[in-house]
Homo-oligomer: A and B are copies of this chain.
Amino acid sequence: MELNISESRSRSIRCIVKLGGAAITCKNELEKIHDENLEVVACQLRQAMLEGSAPSKVIGMDWSKRPGSSEISCDVDDIGDQKSSEFSKFVVVHGAGSFGHFQASRSGVHKGGLEKPIVKAGFVATRISVTNLNLEIVRALAREGIPTIGMSPFSCGWSTSKRDVASADLATVAKTIDSGFVPVLHGDAVLDNILGCTILSGDVIIRHLADHLKPEYVVFLTDVLGVYDRPPSPSEPDAVLLKEIAVGEDGSWKVVNPLLEHTDKKVDYSVAAHDTTGGMETKISEAAMIAKLGVDVYIVKAATTHSQRALNGDLRDSVPEDWLGTIIRFSK
């Protein structure tokens, strides 16, 4: 099925965006969305997708009943003579943050063992929590006029073999994009043909999508400025933001900006501690694998001017001095 994807693409994918769980949920409160951040992220995404074309009026696409109201909120009459906005092709993948995390870790879903009642219950509970988050993100983006389609990896036929992607219905993702929609996938509980079940992280999904859809660039939106040489915190005022990481043909990577004094020193990297699906080590190696495909990766703080520039693709040719974030790119 995957063989036909490039044929069916009439226009290439511009960007895959990861909405990090830490950026869009409140990490210290269970199942709580960071509404302010999510609203800004939606607005920046729309900006970026319009690619400099004149912004038309936002056509809200979440016509759900609002809490406390018995009415549907939709100005259908206003839409009639609106021109359709011409959006470039984006795919969104989000993490779980404070959704799904409790359910997955209490039941040990990532370790497999579906025959155990607690794992089976935790599998169902995890999927309920992450699909709930998915729905809320789809709604937030739709309110901003982005034609989003929630696509749960489990339902889309994603399964794993010892946590590596074993199958995925990328044809449906590609068809959704070609029909002018923005698929919104997420980290999910899936079946694993060795372990029985596991957690498929958003980062692994992005690598798989990048490999098959070959976007121009990938943006990871997170809750700190980028990748540091050690976990940034008030007690670590000297943590250095790594602005550029070069990835070699063998997948190894090194920091090229700033030039660190001890380049052989192991970077104690950390972006988002609030991530149970592998943390920063997974994140950098996933990003390096994407960069190895020739796709630039930008890791940047969500809802800032820096994230807007990254989403817009402003960094493709040259990186402005005042841009803060981490670029991971292939270097021959």
Residues of A within 8 A of B (CB): 29-31, 59-65, 70-72, 74, 76, 79-80, 82-84, 102-103, 106-107, 114-118, 120-125, 127-129, 131-132, 135, 138-139, 142, 147-152, 154-157, 159, 169, 171-172, 175-176, 179-181, 191, 196-197
Excluding A124-B148, A132-B135, 8 further A-B contacts by CB distance (< 8 Å) are A31-B72, A61-B124, A63-B103, A63-B122, A74-B106, A131-B135, A131-B138, A150-B155
Instruction: Please give, as numbers and ranges, the residues of chain B lying within 8 Å of A123 by CB-CB distance.
Output: 147
Instruction: Please give, as numbers and ranges, the residues of chain B lying within 8 Å of A156 by CB-CB distance.
Output: 155-157
- A107:B142 contact, CB within 8 angstroms: no
- B152:A150 contact, CB within 8 angstroms: yes
Instruction: Please give, as numbers and ranges, the residues of chain B lying within 8 Å of A179 by CB-CB distance.
Output: 114, 191, 196-197
A63 to B121, CA, bound (A): 9
Q: Which residue of B lies closest to A134 (CB)?
A: B131
Known: A150-B155, A179-B114, A180-B114. A64 touches B120 (CB 8 A): no
Could you list 13 examples of A-B contacts with CB < 8 Å?
A30-B71, A63-B106, A63-B125, A63-B128, A83-B117, A114-B180, A120-B180, A128-B142, A151-B155, A155-B156, A155-B172, A156-B157, A179-B196
Instruction: Please give, as numbers and ranges, the residues of chain B lying within 8 Å of A135 by CB-CB distance.
Output: 128, 131-132, 135
Instruction: Please give, as numbers and ranges, the residues of chain B lying within 8 Å of A102 by CB-CB distance.
Output: 63, 72
Instruction: Please give, as numbers and ranges, the residues of chain B lying within 8 Å of A63 by CB-CB distance.
Output: 102-103, 106, 121-122, 125, 128-129
- A80:B169 contact, CB within 8 angstroms: no
Instruction: Please give, as numbers and ranges, the residues of chain B lying within 8 Å of A80 by CB-CB distance.
Output: 118
Instruction: Please give, as numbers and ranges, the residues of chain B lying within 8 Å of A118 by CB-CB distance.
Output: 76, 79-80
